[in-house]
Homo-oligomer: A and B are copies of this chain.
Amino acid sequence: MRDAYRQELEAITAGLEQMAQLAASAIGRATTALLEVDLQLAETVIAADDKLDDLQRDLEERAIAVLARQQPVATELRTVVTALRISADLERSGDLALNVAKLARHRFPDHAIPSELRATVLEMGHVAQRLMAKAADVIATREVTVARELEGDDDAMDDLHRALFRRLLDDRWPHSVEAAVEVTLVGRFYERFADHAVSVAKRVVYLVTGEHTDPPSDESAGQQWGQR
């Protein structure tokens, strides 16, 4: 492989890794903004989302350029196509972090999350950030073993999501319907964020092994409606 070609492919991978790191950081900071009622931090997360969108656009242009110039085949072709798919997952993850930050801003100076649920939401934020940071590693290293771990790691998110819903649906829910609506949406944002991290990992597994595991379809709805 010529050097220029290799560099173009490496730049695409580096762009994806950077996007994943930004998404991980965004969900972490959005969670802090939400739970600590920090308007300034929420605004930072909201402003930073443009960067992720720009990176995605750059990455798409780079991918198209490398397809046109290098006409890759086989593994390199799949690398570029996979990069396009992964970048869409990461851009969407950024939007979900943005939604969390927007709720913090909307509710400021009040708490959006009732006090007895904050520990659960904090843990959802940690799990989401950890999953995405791991996805960033997987993008860089292509370590299939680590990539496969993400599915198991995501079970922690499912458990937290279920715990959140149990509280919501408890007959003794002492808060407003508005609070219930907001907690419902927040729970879904974290759950979907985690799904995207898992999806990234699965795409890397496919790239390396050729084994198609289904991308995580949206199981959250089925879960919360099927298993409580």
Contacts and interface: CB of A to CB of B under 8 A. Distances in A.
B95 A217 contact: yes
Contact of A68 (B64, B74, B225, B226): B74
A205 interface: no
Interface residues of A: mostly helix, strand, loop or mixed?
A: helix
- How many residues of A sit at the interface, in one of the four size bands? 35 or more
Interface stretch (A3-11, A17-25, A175-183): A175-183
Q: Which of A71, A168, A225 has most chain B Cβ within 10 Å?
A: A225
Contacts of A222: 99, 102
Interface string A204-228: 0000000010100110011001100
A33 B152 CA distance: 34
A177 B185 contact: no
A218 B71 CA distance: 34
B218 A96 contact: yes
A177 B64 CA distance: 48
Interface stretch (A78-86, A113-121, A128-136, A142-150): A78-86
Interface string A67-105: 110010110011001001100100000011011001101
A117 B202 CA distance: 39
A111 interface: no
Given A71-B71, A184-B185, 10 more contacts: A53-B214, A67-B81, A68-B73, A98-B218, A99-B222, A105-B225, A106-B225, A180-B184, A181-B184, A184-B184
